[in-house]
Amino acid sequence: MKFTLTCAALLLGLAMMPVARAAEAKADKDGWYQLFNGKNLDGWKISEDNPETFKVVDGEIVAHGEAAHLFYDGPVENHNFKDFEYECEVLTKPKANSGMYFHTKYQPKSWPTNGIEVQVNQTHGDPKKTGSLYNIKNIMDKSPAKDDEWFTQNITVKGNHVTVKVNGKVVNEWTQPEDYKREDGWETAKIGSGTFALQGHDPDSETHYRSVKVKPLK
């Protein structure tokens, strides 16, 4: 009987875990959810290829190391977003390359093939700069932000339309055509639904993120 009661209690505890976890996700008065707690990477999952690339230092997510990606897998919207406003404060060191993905899903290795990357890059050799919808609608050569200065990148998706703002100014807009098709191997790299990810690009790139938040739009 004792064994049966213990098993029942254990099963009840496991069943309650998602409820308790969901209860931790609370929006502020304006509808924003903080996705990063400023202490650790709870609610996030690092790709398996180079997990040491991502660390939390002084309340910031630091991406510095071999190529890897950090995916949100926390309780907000069960980490599956469609229409939303998503925003990060970002700081790049010189020659850094990174990116903010949306509508993606966890991928253990390599570059995410689902969703769209919004570029983070002021002075890296890649000519596609901050605010670019990577390989869809690019901002070439001159970035709207600067290295060693915090800036805000905001991504708003409503239906098939995406708007990118840097420091409150619209720098890019695009509407995905109804019959939109990507090149072979990237068929799912488009607007749909999914989670968010941050990119660690290469060992010479160092990018800091803080105030990572989302406002779901109904």
Domain spans of the chain, in order of start: 28-216
Confidence of residue 138 (pLDDT cuts 50, 70, 90): very high
Q: If residue 20 lies in a helix (H) or strand (E), which one and from where to where?
A: helix 2-23
How confident is the model over 74-101, as pLDDT tens digits?
A: 999 999 999 999 999 999 999 999 999 9
pLDDT at residue number 218: 83
For residue 4, pLDDT beyond 80: no
Q: How many CB atoms lie within 10 A of CB 7?
A: 10
For residue 196, the SS3 value is strand
pLDDT at residue number 102: 99
Backbone dihedral angles phi then psi of residue 137, each to the nearest 5 degrees? -145, 105
The fraction of the chain above a pLDDT of 90, given in percent, is: 87
Q: Closest Cα partner for 177 from 194, 196, 190, 193?
A: 190
CATH 2.60.40.10 assigned to domain 28-216? The reply is no
